[in-house]
Structure formats: C-alpha cells, structure tokens
Structure 1
Amino acid sequence: MHDAEDILATAAAWHADGESVAIATVTATWGSSPCPAGSHMVVTASGQIAGSVSGGCVEAAVADAAMQTIVNGRPVLLDFGVTNEKAWEVGLACGGKLQVFVERLA
C-alpha cells in the first residue's frame, strides 16, 4: 500500500503524461472501515489504478464512478454502508460506513 503522497504523486505523473485522471478521497468513516479518512485512490481513463479507499470491498464501484467523473467532469460524493443496498452488492459487510468524494484532476 502506498502512502497518500505517493498516490497523489502518481496521479500528478499520470496527468503530466497526458492521462485523464480522477481522484477518490475517503472523506468520512463510521464504525469498522479498513481505510481511514484521507485515503486516496486514483484512476485513469485507460484503467490504471493506484491506492485504496476500502481495502477492496467497494473499489470497483468507486473506480466506475471515477470513470464517469473523468468523462462528464462532475464530482460525486458516494456513500456506502450496511444499510445501503449498493454496499451489500459491492461487499461492504464489515459493519461500517464510508463516504468517498470523487473528482477529476484538472
């Protein structure tokens, strides 16, 4: 696992190389959550991914949202939790809640 500076440096390098990049940041957690607030995951339009926002349980859903944000330019705030049907679909059965902000790197 990379620390936040490495992940953001990776995002900047990919962007400098001409990639379209989105950054997902954990903004809040409640209860059991494998990644703390401030954790990052970066996604490129070509499918490269670095970092983690959940230790794997919601990564695919966040990556999908990042791809949409790359295309449409609209940031999105995602909520995952045990009461959210989507969380069960993506495997967030840890008992916690997680909020992730996704934005395109300009």
Structure 2
Amino acid sequence: MSEDILGTAEHWLRAGERVALATVVETWGSSPRPAGSMLAVTEGGRMEGSVSGGCIEGAVAEVAREVMREGTPRLLDFGISDEQAWEVGLACGGKLKVFVERLG
C-alpha cells in the first residue's frame, strides 16, 4: 500500500477518473485505524489506503461511489453497537467516524 494516498488520488484525477476520499475523523476504544487514516476510491473501483484495516472498506467504498455521483459529502458512523458495523465486519469493539467527500 502506498503511503501517498493524496498523491495517488491526484494522479487518478489527472487521468480523468472520478475520485472520493474517505478519512477517519474520530475514533473511540479499539478502532482498527487511527484518526487521519485515508482511503481513496475511484468510480471504477480502484482503492488505495485503508480506514479500517479491511473490515469496513467495502461499505465505505459503496458510499464513496454514491458521493461521487451525488456530490454530497457524508459522515459515516461505525461502532460496536451499530448493527451495520457487525454486518460489514467491525467486531473489534471500537467506534469510528469516516468523512467521505468527492475530490475534483
């Protein structure tokens, strides 16, 4: 995994792809990734980075594609008490908030 998520996202944008960026903005307890962790997603499904070590990436990527289409940023909230978190695999006992925005 490249450490330059923003550089990769910029490269994808310059190549004419739609790109969304997901950023961990808040964590509690045993969250899988620290605040500031990023995941860049293209409309075609390419991904670079991580917001959860893999356990919620699919759900975040799905929302990222919606954000690219609609243009409206979203704040996602995943946690141990959230049924969706269990469905997507966030069983680590922590909570995290992920901000998803369209770039470009």
Q: TM-score, normalised by structure 2?
A: 0.97
Match of 1:102 among 82, 100, 103: 100
Q: Which residue of 2 aligns with 1:38?
A: 36
C-alpha distance in structure 2 between counterparts of 1:48 and 1:92, whole Å: 22
In the TM superposition, residue 34 of structure 1 has moved relative to its aligned partner by: 2.0
Cα distance in 2, alignment partners of residues 57 and 29 from structure 1: 15
Residue 8, structure 1, aligned to residue 6, structure 2: yes
In the alignment, structure 2 segments of 5+ residues that lack a partner are none
Q: Which amino acid aligns with 1:81?
A: G
Which sections of structure 1, spanning at least 5 residues, go unmatched? none
- Using the size of structure 1 for normalisation, the TM-score is 0.95
CA distance in 1, matches of 2:8, 2:2: 10
Corresponding residue number in structure 2 for 1:90 = 88
- Tell me the distance in 1 between the aligned counterparts of 2:58 and 2:45: 11
Deviations 1:22-65 (A, max 9, x none): 00000011011121100000000111100000001100000000
Report the Cα offset of residue 2 of structure 1. Answer: 3.0
One-letter amino acid of the counterpart of residue 6, structure 2: L
Q: Give the SS at the match of 2:67.
A: helix
In structure 1, what is the equivalent of residue 46 of structure 2? Answer: 48
In the TM superposition, what whole-angstrom CA distance separates every residue of 1:53-78 from its partner, at most 9, and x where no partner exists? 00011000000000000011010000
The SS at the match of 1:23 is strand
* Residue of 62, 65, 68 corresponding to 1:64: 62
Q: Aligned partners of 2:41, 2:47: CA distance in 1, in Å?
A: 5
Identity %: 62
Deviation beyond 3 Å, 4+ runs, structure 1? none
